[in-house]
Amino acid sequence: MYNSGKIIAGLVVFLAFFAFPFYYNLGKANARPEPKLNTPVIQQLAEKKCVESRDFMRSEHMQLLNDWRDSVVRDGNRIYVNAEGKKHTISLQNTCMNCHSNKKEFCDSCHNYMAVKPYCWSCHIQPKEDKS
């Protein structure tokens, strides 16, 4: 084989370079997001429960919010009846953020981790938070 030394050396350098992100992060625990639920309003709740179950909200809140948006804006339906038959007013600013007034520690903690940038806040006013 011609130039085998150079080729192998080149491959080693290439692999070392290519795999850099993997061994750079090796052994570093990437702290999983811990969205905080300790807002004053949530602490006051008798039953600490969102509009649907925690698992459902975790995986489906984006779909639920899309459905809510269309329901209010397109059909004028503002009351949401959940799986248990409980009624909630459909409103991101006035219902969701009333409990989750800690957007930075709640919404942002996962969204930043997942590198998603929902554009809700270009128009919807986020709660004022003391801590930056």
Partner 1 sequence: MSINRRQFLKIAGASTVLGLGGASVVNSLKRGGLEASQMSPDPKGLVAKRWGFVVDVSKLESEEDYKRCADACHNIHNVPVFKNDKLHEVKWIWKEPFENTFPGTEHEYMSHEFKEKNFLVFCNHCAKPACVKVCPTKATFKRKDGIVMQDMHRCIGCRFCMAACPFGARSFNYLDPRGKDTDGTPLIKVENKTFPTRMIGVVEKCTACYERLSIGQQPACAEVSNGAIVFGDLEDPNSEVRKIIATKYTIRRKPELGTQPSIYYVIGGSEHA
User: Using CB under 8 A as the criterion, which residues of the chain lie in contact with partner 1 when the complex forms?
Assistant: 52-53, 56, 60, 63-64, 67-69, 71, 73-83, 85, 89-90, 93-94, 122-125
Q: Which amino acid is at 21?
A: P
d(CA 6, CA 8): 6
Give Cα separations from 19 to 83, 89, 96, 130 (angstroms).
Answer: 47, 50, 42, 42
* Residue burial 93-104, b: 16+ Cβ < 10 Å; e: rest: eebbbebbbbbe
SS in 3 state form for 36-56?
CCCCHHHHHCCCCCCCCCHHH
Q: Which is nearer to partner 1, 53 or 112 (CB)?
A: 53
Nearer to partner 1 (CB atom), residue 14 or residue 69: 69
Distance CA 72, CA 91 (A): 8
CB of 20 to partner 1, least distance (A): 37
- Return the SS3 of 81: strand
Measured from the CB atom, the residue of 48 and 58 that comes closer to partner 1 is 58
We find the least distance from the C-beta atom of residue 122 to partner 1, in angstroms, to be: 4
Return the number of the residue (14 or 78) whose C-beta is nearest partner 1: 78
Please report how close the Cβ of residue 99 comes to partner 1 at its closest, in angstroms: 15
- Cβ 113 to partner 1, closest distance in Å? 22
Q: How far is the CB of 62 from partner 1 (least distance, A)?
A: 12
- Residue 36 or 54 with smaller CB distance to partner 1: 54
